[in-house]
Structure 1
Amino acid sequence: MTSTVLYQASEGVATLTLNRPDVLNALNADILRELREAVDRAAADAEVRAVLLTGAGRGFCAGADLAARQGGGVSDSGTLLRERYHPIIMALREMPKPVITAVNGVAAGAGMSLALAGDVVLAARSASFLQAFSKIGLIPDAGSTYFLPRYAGEMRARALAILAEKIDAEEAHRIGLVWKVHEDAALQDEAGKLARHLASMPTMAYAMIKEALNQSFSNDLAAQLEVEATLQSRASRTEDCKEGVAAFVEKRKPQFKGR
């Protein structure tokens, strides 16, 4: 049987490709299970220092595969989210490695949530984003009600969720949902180039950056200053920090090892 998530590791980068192109990589029980396994595999592999998530074919992810009844015995939507979606979103956000999502087409519903779970979101010029939930009487899930107001602001988040209007890549970039937009033919090359660059950098620092940012919204200023001090103390003792300082003083290119 063809894998619904392709996994390839090379040059310090794990590339995870959603692989149900005939249904725009819609999420069913199989793809959710395999994606969870792939994310966990990338997190556990010491040779992997950056992760790239994208979709096969002409779409990134069209969201939940309603036609396939992906519940697979799970009748309650909340239970389905807790058991199959939430672990993936949390694993991506808490992974001690940078995660790039390369949105190569439609990102709708939970597929948009999945795209926004990346640390750096890139999009093809033809990509589109859609909070489709309200069209079928549902609310945004898989993290969208968390990501949208933080990235786009509360008013835009409310409009995107309630109106369920599709926006293109340029608009997504304009309102802060996407870091950069690339021409369709260049997206995968640019995403791969960025992932390889991140994999060559001080990835332990990236892990601590993610840790600090993940805590920032629940902390007041004093608490967040303490988080920064604690993590900076750890960062300053890493081999990569020592190498970075030495390379700066010696006016040479640093050779980071992710340690």
Structure 2
Amino acid sequence: MKAPDLSEYRTLTYEVDDRIARITFNRPEHGNAITADTPLDLAHAVERADVDPAVHVILLSGRGKGFCGGYDLSIFAERSSEDGSADPRTGTVLDPTTQLENHDPGRTWDPMVDYQMMSRFNRGFASLLHANKPTVAKLHGFAVAGGTDIALHCDQIICADDTKIGYPPTRVWGVPATGLWAHRLGDQRAKRLLLTGDCLTGKQAEEWGLAIESCPADELDARTEALVARIAAMPLNQLIMVKLALNSALLAQGVATSGMVSTVFDGISRHTPEGYGFAQRAMEAGFREAVRERDEPFGDHKQNRPS
């Protein structure tokens, strides 16, 4: 297997072998947390695989201890690009300074500034759903908060039994912006998770129909390779036709509308009294302490799994 080019993208690596395009989040020291570069890198890599005639299936995974731990809140402290040059996002809705000013409780909040930013993250993640070719997410360790926004856009999810999957920020300061939970799980099970902020294990995700397969962590690589190899063995035109046909049913359910509504409410959730209070507490005591205080009343700090 050819070694991936680590300098090609800021947040992930890309390589192709045996009809499989492998996109791997590559910020393990930060839990592969999402930055402003993530949706751009992901959309570019997905399109690259989609137009490559040698690729039949796209596999998405993460290096390190987990798949993706959600958004990297340190991006709001960024002021320039990593190489020291002027950041082209300066002054736009993707500028962290613009978003910080729009989140100031002492100012009037413009919900569309918030929406313009978050909808662009969602657009990048949605490249996985709208790609012509099938996409598979391999989850291990954790896929939480914004990490689920990415994973749920994939056509297939395979995970380790002990993977932590869910959206705890729905307890305060967040609504899943891509609006995919009900489409993937059905109404009652989606509400069971999002009305509590509880998480599933990988095994539960398989039992609930969120994942197509779950297995012991030490078997995940082999089981994933077996799955993508079987998909890759199919004729490419058949894969595209089947995905288009099945996506038509999913899109008819109103996925685009769900995403738009959820993105607006995600912004609103950060501008409620509770949302401002959480943000203030995070500034005073640190984000980890604010999360601990958020989760402890539910008895599941660092656990977040329904009984």
Q: Contact 2:158/2:224 (CA < 8 Å) preserved in 1?
A: yes
Partner of 1:82: 119
Helix, strand or coil at the partner of 1:77: helix
Deviation at 1:79, TM superposition (A): 1.1
| 1:117-159 deviation per Cα after TM superposition (whole angstroms, max 9, x unaligned) | 1111100122111112323322111x2x2x3212222011112
Structure 2 residue 22 is matched with structure 1 residue 15 = yes
Question: Do 2:125 and 2:153's aligned partners in 1 also have CA atoms closer than 8 Å?
Answer: no
| Closer, same or farther: CA 219–111 of 1 in aligned 2, 3 Å | closer
Specify which of 214, 217, 224 is matched with residue 191 of structure 1. Answer: 224
Q: CA deviation at 1:218?
A: 5.8
TM-score, length of structure 1 as denominator length: 0.77
The residue number in structure 1 matching 2:204 is: 171
Cross-structure match for 1:253: none
Partner of 1:136: 172
Other-structure match for 1:93 = 129
Q: In 2, distance between residues paired with 1:164 and 1:46?
A: 42
Tell me the distance in 1 between the aligned counterparts of 2:193 and 2:74.
24
CA distance in structure 2 between the aligned counterparts of 1:118 and 1:218, rounded to whole angstroms:
14
Structure 2, gaps ≥5 residues long: 1-5, 79-93, 100-112, 254-307
Matched residue of 2:64: which SS? Answer: coil
Aligned partner of 1:207 in structure 2 is 240
Equivalence for 2:54: 47
Supply the distance in 1 between the matched residues of 2:181 and 2:206 (Cα, whole angstroms). 13
Any idea what SS the aligned residue of 1:107 has?
strand
Q: Report the Cα distance in structure 2 between the residues aligned to 1:84 and 1:58, rounded to whole angstroms.
A: 23
Any conservation in 2 of the 1:52–1:192 contact (CA below 8 Å)?
no
Task: Say which SS state the counterpart of residue 163 (structure 1) adopts.
Answer: coil
For the Cα contact (< 8 Å) 1:94–1:210, is it kept in 2? Answer: no
How far, CA to CA, are the matches of 2:219 and 2:114 in structure 1?
38
Deviation at 1:184, TM superposition (A): 1.1
Given the superposition, is the C-alpha separation of residues 52 and 219 from structure 1 closer, same or farther in structure 2, using an over 3 Å criterion?
closer
Give, in whole Å, the separation in 2 of the partners of 1:148 and 1:161: 9
Per-residue CA deviations over 1:65-88 (Å, capped at 9, x if unaligned) read: 123228434523311122232233
Residue aligned with 1:123, SS: strand
* Alignment counterpart, residue 32 of structure 2, candidates 14, 25, 32: 25
Contact 2:42/2:124 (8 A) holds in 1: no
Secondary structure (helix, strand or coil) at the match of 2:143 reads strand
Aligned to 2:158: 122
Distance change >3 Å, CA 53–CA 219, structure 1 → 2: closer
Counterpart residue identity of residue 124, structure 2: P
Q: Distance in 2 between matches of 1:214 and 1:72?
A: 34
Select the residue among 47, 67, 72 that pairs with 2:74: 67
* TM-score, scaled relative to structure 2: 0.65
